[in-house]
Amino acid sequence: MDKQIISISILGVGARGGEAYGRYIYECKDKFKIISLCEPNEFRLEKYGEAFEVAEENRFLSEDEFFEKKRSDVLLIATLDRLHVRQAVKALDLGYDLVLEKPISDDADELRMLVEKAKANGRMVMVCHVLRYTTMIRKLKSLLDEGAIGKLISMDQTENVCFWHQAHSFVRGNWRNREETTPMIMQKCCHDMDLIQYFIDARCKSVASKGSLAYFKSENRPEGAADRCIDCKHRSDCKFSAYTIYLEQWKKDGCPEAIPYNLVTDVLPITEEALIKSLRESMYGRCVFACDNNVVDNQTVIMQFENGVTATFKMEGFTARGGRDFRFFGTEGEIELCEIEDRLVLRRYMEDPVVWKISELVDDLGGQGEGGHGGGDHRMIDSLYRIYFSDKLNASSSIECSVESHYMALASEKSRLEGGRLVDLTEYRK
């Protein structure tokens, strides 16, 4: 029998739809065929239309035209946060199965409505909690599930955002302003919330949170700083200088066509001239103390789960390196994982520690997957194919699981805005 092929359309071919998933989906020709694209940016539509061999009549600049009919089995929605729900509703009405970028929404009513709609239509909504699909997270989960540290009592998790990433995405870039996007605890940390409830294997009961925009505001602007780093007298000594981060570092790195440089300019191959133009004109060239940002740069959450386990979570913008740290505390031992140091350690009481290199872990497909998020971007697409014809309503990152992490993020933000008071999650699950 011929192998079944899943036909896919992609809505929004930016960093995620075009690069992170689109290119890999296109490579997996024995599993997927990209049928159509919808993207209002003409340059990107043409670029990815050509790259993915999508027929010209199936490339749409207008969302309305794209949604005139169903065009494929699956629709991948990889547009910016505020469009997700509106587009998902249209897609479910047309009968698509969905792969939906996170965050879904920061409105609890919308979250509940979408879960109900997916259920009523019998459709898959796989949310892009790509970390669930990585070997690192699977290994942690299996150690916990097999009782390697006995009964889990509590856990700590830190998301080290990294100073330049904080400045790029949450001060200058797409996710700087909570009115235009979603609060940072939702945007950046709904993965973390998702992982915490996945590890603890219970619903979260209540949360309390503190956090603030501590540094990236006008009162911290150095004397005489220019609005754009390229014109600024502090450009060589400011740690957040766009001139240093995007131009000097690009040269030092050997002029790669990689993140973050390919997010700052659409010109390929990237040139010095194109980067300078972007530093003069785009949002990424702005002084970090003169942007229209209002999302936090640090936030801490404490959580209580229905099974009695407690967790603390820290999102920190002021870190030299990225990656996550985890610690799990159980009745027979503890587990520690430091992503950036490539180290996972199991310490059972009164036994020698067992140490793994994260980079050497192997999953049941015989590797880790290439691509972003420790292979998770590609492994999620592999998983989509594996479950689509057999168990598509039970994806590991189904919308039913995913909304729980969104409720945790919403409750955390509510707590933070209300001075850190305890917020009960029951109110979100009406």
* CB 249 to ligand NAD: min, Å: 20
12 binds ligand NAD (CB under 6 A): yes
Contacting residues for 245 by C-beta, under 8 A, at least 6 apart: 164, 167, 168, 260
| Residues 66-95: x where in contact with ligand NAD by CB under 6 A, - otherwise, as a string | ------------xxxx-x------------
Backbone angles phi, psi at 345, to 5 degrees: -125, 130
Assigned token pair, 162: 């990294």
197 binds ligand NAD (CB under 6 A): no
| Residues 117-146: x where in contact with ligand NAD by CB under 6 A, - otherwise, as a string | -----------x-x----------------
Return the H-helix or E-strand segment holding 252: helix 249-252
Report the residue from 39, 97, 159, 334 that binds ligand NAD according to the rule CB under 6 A. 39
264 binds ligand NAD (CB under 6 A): no
CA separation for the pair 140, 198 (Å, rounded): 10
Residue of 25, 295, 321, 360 whose CA lies nearest to 160: 321
Backbone angles phi, psi at 18, to 5 degrees: -85, -55
Q: Which is nearer to ligand NAD, 222 or 256 (CB)?
A: 256
Looking at 52-134, list the stretches that DSSP marks H as alpha helix, in order from N- to C-terminal side: 63-66, 84-94, 108-121
Report the residue from 101, 159, 194, 334 that binds ligand NAD according to the rule CB under 6 A. 101
Q: Whose structure tokens read 């990107």?
A: 44
178 binds ligand NAD (CB under 6 A): no
* CB 377 to ligand NAD: min, Å: 7
378 binds ligand NAD (CB under 6 A): no
Report the residue from 25, 34, 35, 38 that binds ligand NAD according to the rule CB under 6 A. 38
379 binds ligand NAD (CB under 6 A): no
Q: Whose structure tokens read 């099974």?
A: 307
44 binds ligand NAD (CB under 6 A): yes
Q: Is the dihedral of CA 25, 71, 13, 384 positive or negative?
A: negative
Q: Which is nearer to ligand NAD, 63 or 332 (CB)?
A: 63
46 binds ligand NAD (CB under 6 A): no
Instruction: Please work out the total of residues on this chain that contact ligand NAD, with binding judged by CB under 6 A.
Output: 25
CA separation for the pair 350, 378 (Å, rounded): 39
49 binds ligand NAD (CB under 6 A): no
Q: How many residues does the chain have?
A: 430
| Binding to ligand NAD, residues 356-375 (CB under 6 A) | 373
Q: Which is nearer to ligand NAD, 63 or 180 (CB)?
A: 63
Report the residue from 23, 47, 58, 63 that binds ligand NAD according to the rule CB under 6 A. 63
Q: Which is nearer to ligand NAD, 262 or 300 (CB)?
A: 262
Tell me how many helices (H) and strands (E) the chain has. Answer: 15, 15
- Rounded to a whole number of angstroms, the CA Rg of the chain reads 22
Contacting residues for 321 by C-beta, under 8 A, at least 6 apart: 160, 162, 340
Q: Report whether 2 contacts 69 (CB < 8 A).
A: no
Q: Which is nearer to ligand NAD, 149 or 185 (CB)?
A: 185
195 binds ligand NAD (CB under 6 A): no
Contacting residues for 334 by C-beta, under 8 A, at least 6 apart: 149, 327, 328, 347
Residue of 299, 338, 306 whose CA lies nearest to 322: 338
267 binds ligand NAD (CB under 6 A): no
* CB 348 to ligand NAD: min, Å: 33
Which residue is at the shortest CB distance from ligand NAD?
A: 14
For ligand NAD, the binding residues (CB under 6 A) are: 11-17, 38-41, 44, 63, 78-81, 83, 101-102, 128, 130, 174, 187, 373
